[in-house]
């Protein structure tokens, strides 16, 4: 966090904002202009053009995000996947090898398994909770290590402290996808990660009305990633920048409530006689609770659970829920519930799902900002109905 803002709540509102209001407008207008007048720039990257990610709507977001992440620099991108692909294609060159967590977000997993080979890249999958197993996967060409702070859908918490130490020991670039926690609950750069990525589609925007991504780190890395992004073309439209900017201002209010409600809901489910498993690192009985309590300032708003009645009861419960919609994606103000086997993890083979422990009856719940009491009542009637 930049010294100017002692508290994240203040930074969310004021960090990065222009010194002067444009025409006195309280809110930064949308600069819906693909190109801008030439003012004597000497390098291509300094010309103002939407694809170059340097209109006023981009720049304000870059400053605000850098402040939130405690980073030298940050970049917004056209999607979370644009941030992930541009980052990995900057950090890695043909011939390089990546160590990646074995429970990756589906899109990231597909990028590795379907595109890496044709790009001359290779990867090895690691259990990010067992540092003692990682060295065996190193090759002379290993260049980077990639993990997620909390995994989807079983809320596994990687040994993030060990990832930073391992990366330093073996001279690897460390990259973490922190989508599930947001900078409010975990700031990986302060813990020694080189780069942090978000799907801003989720909590950072928080209103399920756009697709965007971010990456933050040293100025040197962000400059290189931006250069690659300019060529790949995954820039963010100014209108989407505006929406993300607006959504970001309430991040702290939203995710604190989502965290508090998620804990209450997890406790309710944990006590419910028809629920056989609850995955939420905030529960003291969760195997990752200790680690999460040490390194995170909150456990986030995502949880998942299994019912005694398995797949049939899960389907029935989803149908009966009145408040949460059955839909993929997460992190918005409206609660969503889904069976990952039908949505987020439908691309995995049944075998791969079984290996990860994702059953057909698993329900993933993205807690919105509705009253926790109402969400609990709704879950209760849906499970018992
Ligand atoms: C959704 C998601 C992504 C991909 O983001 P898009 O904005 O959909 O491209 C990446 N990582 C995680 C953890 C996600 O949940």
How many angstroms separate the CA atoms of 372 and 196, rounded? Answer: 30
Query: In the annotation, is 51 catalytic?
Result: yes
Alpha carbon 133 to its chain's center: 25
- Please report, for the domain that includes residue 306, its CATH number: 3.90.1150.10
Distance CA 260, CA 282 (A): 10
Across the range 123-133, mean pLDDT stands at 97
Strand partners, 199: 213
Asked whether residue 226 falls in the same domain as residue 269, the answer is no
**Is 314 inside any structural domain?**
yes
- Confidence grade of residue 262 (pLDDT, cut at 50, 70, 90): very high
Is residue 3 a part of any domain in this protein?
Answer: no
Same domain, 197 and 69: yes
Ligand 1 within 6 A of 59 CB? no
Atom number, ligand 1, closest to the C-alpha of residue 81: 9
pLDDT in tens, 26-59: 999 999 999 999 999 999 889 999 999 999 999 9
Confidence of residue 352 (pLDDT cuts 50, 70, 90): confident
What is the residue range of 288's domain? 252-384
Q: Is the pLDDT of residue 256 over 90?
A: yes
Pick the residue whose CA is nearest to atom 1 on ligand 1.
Answer: 199
- Say which residue the tokens 């429970």 belong to: 103
Residue among 177, 152, 199 nearest 344 (CA): 152
Number of domains in the chain: 2
| 218 and 304 co-located in one domain | no
Domain identity same for 33 and 67: yes
Lowest mean pLDDT among 4-13, 62-71, 284-293: 4-13
For residue 200, the surrounding DSSP H or E stretch is none
C-alpha span between 288 and 280 (Å, rounded) = 9
Residue 64 φ/ψ, nearest 5 degrees: -65, -45
CA dist., res. 277 & res. 286, Å (int): 10
Residues 31 and 53 in one domain: yes
Mean per-residue pLDDT, 179-198: 98
Q: From ligand 1's centre to the CA of 80, what distance in Å? A: 5
Testing ligand 1's pocket by substitution, the residue of 80, 207, 244 carrying the most ligand atoms inside 8 A of its CB is: 80
Active site annotation includes 353: no
* pLDDT score for 231: 96
- 245 exposed, middle or buried (CB, 10 Å; 0-12, 13-18, 19+)? buried
More confident of the two residues 59 and 6: 59
pLDDT, tens only, 294-338:
999 999 999 999 999 999 999 999 999 999 999 999 999 999 999
Residues 303 and 220 in one domain: no
Residue that is last in its domain, among 189, 216, 248: 248
Say yes or no to pLDDT of 2 above 50: no
Q: Best substitution site from 78, 83, 179 to test ligand 1's pocket, by max atoms within 8 Å of Cβ? A: 179
* Rounded Cα gap, residues 339 and 103, in angstroms: 16
Q: Indicate whether 170 pLDDT > 80.
A: yes
CA of 202 to the centre of ligand 1 (A): 7
Last residue of a domain, one of 248, 281, 304: 248
211 Cβ inside 6 Å of ligand 1: yes
Q: Using CA atoms in the order 163, 155, 196, 262, what is the torsion angle rounded to 10 degrees?
A: -140
DSSP secondary structure, 108-121, as one string:
HHHIIIIITGGGT-
Query: Cα angle vertex 110, ends 108, 115, to 5°?
Result: 105
Residue nearest to atom 4 of ligand 1 (CA): 80
> What CA–CA distance (Å, rounded) separates 20 from 179?
32
The reply to whether 2 falls in a domain is: no
Residues 99 and 190 in one domain: yes
Same domain, 294 and 194: no
CA distance 257 to 303: 14
What is the arithmetic mean of pLDDT over 210-235? 97
Residue among 64, 143, 187, 202 flagged as catalytic: 202
Asked whether residue 222 falls in the same domain as residue 276, the answer is: no
Among this protein's residues, is 237 annotated catalytic?
A: no
Average pLDDT, the chain: 96
Distance CA(349)–CA(329), nearest Å, equals: 20
Q: What is the CATH number of the domain that holds 76?
A: 3.40.640.10
Atom 6 of ligand 1: nearest residue by CA position: 80
Domain-embedded: residue 47: yes
Q: Are residues 292 and 213 in the same domain?
A: no
> Which residues lie closer than 8 Å to 171 by C-beta, 6 or more apart?
none
* % of the chain with per-residue pLDDT over 70: 99
One domain, residues 190 and 258: no
Same-domain status, 83 and 195: yes
What is the C-alpha separation between 278 and 154, in angstroms, rounded?
9
DSSP H or E segment with residue 196: strand 195-199
Cα–Cα distance for residue pair 326/336, rounded to 1 Å:
6
> Residue 3's pLDDT band (boundaries 50, 70, 90)?
very low
Catalytic residue among 96, 177, 237, 378: 177
What pTM was computed for the model?
A: 0.97
Beta-carbon contacts of 56 under 8 Å, excluding residues fewer than 6 positions away, are 18, 22, 28, 31
pLDDT, residue 269, reads 98
Residue 133: inside a domain: yes
Residue 245 clears pLDDT 70, i.e. is over it: yes
Q: Distance (Å, rounded) from C-alpha 22 to C-alpha 30?
A: 11
Mean pLDDT for the stretch of residues 186-209: 98
Residue 375 lies in a domain: yes
93 falls within a domain: yes
In a domain, 1, yes or no: no
pLDDT tens track for 68-89: 999 999 999 999 999 999 999 9
Q: What is the pLDDT of residue 1?
A: 41
Q: Which of 216, 232, 248 is the last residue of a domain?
A: 248
């Amino acid at each position: 966090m930049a010294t100017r803002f002692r508290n994240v709540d203040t930074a969310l509102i004021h960090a990065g904002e222009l010194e002067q209001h444009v025409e006195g407008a309280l809110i930064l207008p949308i600069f819906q202009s693909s190109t801008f007048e030439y003012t004597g720039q000497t390098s291509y990257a300094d010309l103002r053009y939407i694809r170059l990610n340097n209109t006023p709507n981009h720049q304000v977001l870059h400053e605000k995000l850098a402040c939130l992440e405690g980073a030298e620099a940050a970049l917004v991108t056209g999607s979370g996947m644009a941030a992930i692909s541009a980052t990995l294609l900057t950090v890695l060159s043909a011939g390089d090898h990546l160590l990646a967590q074995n429970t990756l977000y589906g899109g990231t997993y597909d990028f590795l398994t379907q595109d890496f080979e044709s790009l001359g890249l290779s990867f090895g999958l690691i259990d990010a909770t067992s540092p003692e197993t990682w060295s065996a996967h190193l090759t002379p060409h290993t260049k980077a290590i990639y993990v997620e702070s909390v995994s989807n859908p079983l809320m596994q918490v990687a040994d993030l402290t060990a990832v930073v130490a391992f990366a330093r020991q073996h001279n690897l670039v460390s990259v973490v996808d922190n989508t599930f926690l947001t900078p409010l609950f975990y700031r990986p750069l302060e813990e020694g990660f080189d780069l942090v990525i978000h799907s801003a589609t989720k909590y950072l925007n928080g209103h399920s009305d756009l697709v965007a991504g971010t990456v933050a780190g040293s100025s040197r890395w962000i400059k290189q990633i931006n250069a690659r992004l300019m060529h790949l073309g995954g820039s963010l439209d100014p209108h989407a920048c505006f929406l993300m900017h607006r959504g970001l201002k309430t991040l702290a209010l939203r995710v604190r409530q989502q965290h508090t409600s998620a804990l209450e809901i997890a406790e309710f489910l944990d006590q419910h006689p028809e629920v056989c498993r609850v995955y939420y690192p905030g529960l003291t009985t969760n195997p990752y609770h200790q680690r999460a309590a040490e390194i995170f300032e909150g456990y986030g708003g995502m949880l998942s659970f299994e019912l005694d009645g398995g797949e049939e009861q899960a389907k029935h419960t989803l149908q009966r829920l009145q408040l949460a919609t059955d839909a993929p994606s997460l992190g918005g103000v409206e609660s969503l519930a889904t069976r990952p086997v039908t949505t987020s993890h439908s691309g995995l083979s049944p075998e791969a799902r079984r290996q990860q422990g994702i059953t057909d009856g698993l329900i993933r719940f993205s807690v919105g900002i509705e009253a926790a009491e109402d969400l609990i009542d709704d879950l209760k009637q849906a499970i018992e109905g």
